[in-house]
Amino acid sequence: MYATRIKGRHILLENPARESRAKKELTEKRARQKALKDKKKLGGIGKREAKEKGVWTFDKAQAKFDLFLPLHNLWLGYMSELLGLPQQTPGVPPTAQTVPASSGMHPKLVKADYHGSIMTVRQSKNPCLVGLSGIVIHETENAFKVVTPKDKLKLIPKENNIFAFAVPLYSTLPPSYKAEQPLPLPVPDNAMTTVLQHPHLEFELHGNQFRFRSADRAGRKFKHKETIEL
């Protein structure tokens, strides 16, 4: 028996673990559900098809700062509604009582959408990035894509960078606006201004702790962490 069945043959001494059929079917089901979910987000097409069709491709000829000012003003209205900012009383300077408490704003800002905001690199391990500023036109998990006032398209990584952004001190929405109404679309004109030209509050954003997509942040529970210095 040894000579006929064992001699001169390779014998496997360990039995390799095999994935059970139920686990394999569950993995395939989750993959199909994720692909279907991504397809719905992209209007009925998958990620690969969207990439082939150039859905995420941006024409650099359209990188004009003034072209994205309406998007910035729409973001100001979004912040006014999200933070419940008060209307400005003409001739009355801001006081400690009228300025909203930052502690109540932080949880909302962590989950907010920043497409249309003006991001400025305050600190960075790369000295060439310090001071770079622009309107955010696309945010990914690891970077902000901005259009600068010099009409340049820049991709700024979040890692090892500290950003600064400002929100209006007073609401930019009309006094007659109600929460159940859609945000009024700004009308493009030559007199459009940015949040930096009005009373505003400035916040710092640590990129190392902010490496999530905007859609993922909306349902995520953030825990308090110590400030990480660069």
Do 191 and 144 lie in a common domain? yes
Do 43 and 100 lie in a common domain? no
Q: How far is CA 76 from CA 38, 42, 103, 115, in A?
A: 29, 26, 20, 11
Does residue 144 fall inside a structural domain? yes
Do 65 and 49 lie in a common domain? no
Does residue 228 fall inside a structural domain? no
Do 100 and 211 lie in a common domain? yes
Do 144 and 104 lie in a common domain? yes
Does residue 102 fall inside a structural domain? yes
Do 190 and 209 lie in a common domain? yes
**Per-residue pLDDT for 34 more than 90?**
no
For the ranges 30-34, 52-56, 66-70, 215-219, the maximum mean pLDDT occurs at 66-70
Q: pLDDT tens for residues 187-217?
A: 766 667 889 888 888 999 999 888 888 878 8
Do 45 and 72 lie in a common domain? no
State the first-to-last Cα distance of the chain, in angstroms, to the nearest integer.
71
Count the domains in the chain.
2
Mean pLDDT of 11-23: 70
Does residue 10 fall inside a structural domain? no
Does residue 76 fall inside a structural domain? yes
Give the contacts of 74 (CB within 8 A, at least 6 positions apart). Answer: 116, 183, 185, 186
Q: Greater confidence, 162 or 15?
A: 162
Does residue 227 fall inside a structural domain? no
Domain range enclosing 39 = 21-53
Give the contacts of 7 (CB within 8 A, at least 6 positions apart). Answer: none
**Per-residue pLDDT for 137 more than 90?**
yes
Do 47 and 67 lie in a common domain? no
For the ranges 51-60, 78-87, 142-151, 166-175, the maximum mean pLDDT occurs at 142-151
Does residue 5 fall inside a structural domain? no
Q: How confident is the model at residue 229 (pLDDT cuts 50, 70, 90)?
A: low
The backbone torsions φ and ψ at residue 120, rounded to the nearest 5 degrees and listed phi first, read -125, 135
Do 126 and 105 lie in a common domain? yes
pTM over 0.75: no
Q: What is the CATH number of the domain that holds 121?
A: 2.30.30.210
Choose the weakest-confidence range: 24-38, 177-191, 192-206: 177-191
C-beta separation of 38 from 46 below 8 A: yes
Does residue 116 fall inside a structural domain? yes
Do 104 and 214 lie in a common domain? yes
Do 77 and 173 lie in a common domain? yes
Q: Greater confidence, 80 or 42?
A: 80
**What is the structure's pLDDT at 43?**
61
Do 68 and 47 lie in a common domain? no
**Per-residue pLDDT for 42 more than 60?**
no
C-beta separation of 51 from 135 below 8 A: no
